[in-house]
Amino acid sequence: MSEFPSANVVVTGASSGIGQAVAETLARPGAVLVLAARNADALNAVAARCREAGARVVVIPTDVTDAAAVRKLAEQARIFAGTIDMWVSNAGVGAVGRFHEVPVRAHEQVVRTNLLGHMNDAHAVLPIFLDQGFGTFVNVISVGGFCAAPYAAAYSASKFGLRGFSEALRGELSGYPHIHICDVYPSFVDTPGISHGANYTGHRLSAPPPLLDARRVAAAIVNLLAHPKDTVMIGAGAWGGRLAHMLAPATTARIMNRLLTRYLASADTAAATDGNLFAPYGDEGHIDGGLRSWPRSRGNRRILAIVILLTVLGLAVFRRRATRPED
């Protein structure tokens, strides 16, 4: 970041988790931040922390599923900052449950936010990038863009679709060397997303270890200002999941389904909830979800062992193929 002391950055989904971590990582004297999400109170709390660090900040409550609102966000951001160096498209929601037991409107909202919301972001800011001749657009996707997640069918559809959207967009913009489309694929991250998300399983949800600190993901995103890359994988789980899917997608999905089914069978019961799908969560927002600890239960230890095994096997096969002499 020393190369960009006065970076002008828009962050959507900035009210908690990765988005909040990105904002606080960027915050320093000379930085100009435009923070967007649906929860105005949470955004203002994040903005206060960033201003204390010396950044100039504006809060613009925005629902990324509303294309007109996102266009207004981009226009206001350009007026406030003058130029936009980076747009971090980070808003996302989830709904967990068997596909046929999750309401269709919930599936629709996941796709509307995670895919169409990011497309709205890009559609609003790309004309600005083209006019100013530079800019970096960051799609925060997740390992779910490569590995399908049973019990989260709409989430998987949205993330697979987002990966395809980014690849197509990079092709269109290949003639503009100073405009970059960057994809970030972290493995499971310890954020409030699990507790804030929709849950139709009837059981309390957690996330499989090992979990990333959202600040590590934020640091990788901020690094794209100085060193833009098409694809950034974060965490051994992301690499392992991608390689496992590449080698045996059906087997990987079956293993994930078996693990999730066993986990839910032993998890505490919980009431069904729409979570933050249709309205922002009521609390102030936090970076951490409180899930990042060494797994103590037998089920969690089994999940961790399988994640590590898939990672090691995937890397071994990948290296063998990479070093195999050509025919």
Residue 294's pLDDT is 44
pLDDT tens string 226-248: 999 999 999 877 666 777 667 77
Say if 229 falls within a structural domain. Answer: yes
Sequence-distant (≥ 6) Cβ neighbours of residue 200 within 8 angstroms:
95, 96, 97, 98, 101, 102, 103, 106, 272
CATH (domain of 18): 3.40.50.720
**pLDDT (0 to 100) of residue 318:** 47
Mean pLDDT score of the chain: 87
Confirm whether 185 is a catalytic residue: no
Catalytic-labelled residue, pool 155, 185, 263, 281: 155
| Residue 1: predicted pLDDT | 46
The range of the structural domain enclosing residue 271 comes to 8-323
In this structure, is residue 1 part of a structural domain? Answer: no
Kindly state whether residue 2 falls inside one of the protein's structural domains. no
Name the amino acid, one letter, at 278: F
Long-range contacts of 73-80 (CB under 8 A, 24+ apart): 73/10, 73/12, 73/34, 73/36, 73/124, 74/10, 74/124, 74/125, 74/128, 76/34, 77/8, 77/10, 77/34, 78/128, 80/32, 80/34
Does the residue 280 lie in any domain? yes
Confidence band of 327 (pLDDT split at 50, 70, 90): very low
Residues 261-316: tens digit of each pLDDT: 887 888 889 999 999 999 998 776 799 988 865 444 444 444 554 555 555 455 44
Side-chain half-sphere exposure of 89, counting CA atoms within 13 A = 33
The tally of domains found in the chain comes to 1
Per residue in 145-182, pLDDT (tens digit) is 888 888 999 999 999 999 999 999 999 999 999 999 99
In a domain, 281, yes or no: yes
Asked if the model's pLDDT at residue 115 lies above 90, the reply is yes
For residue 185, pLDDT over 70 is answered with yes
Query: Is residue 73 assigned to a domain?
Result: yes
- The Cα 255–Cα 160 span in angstroms is 19
**Phi, then psi, of 35 in degrees rounded to 5:** -105, 130
Any domain includes 126: yes
Residue 29: how many CB atoms within 10 A of its CB? 10
Q: Does residue 3 sit within a domain?
A: no
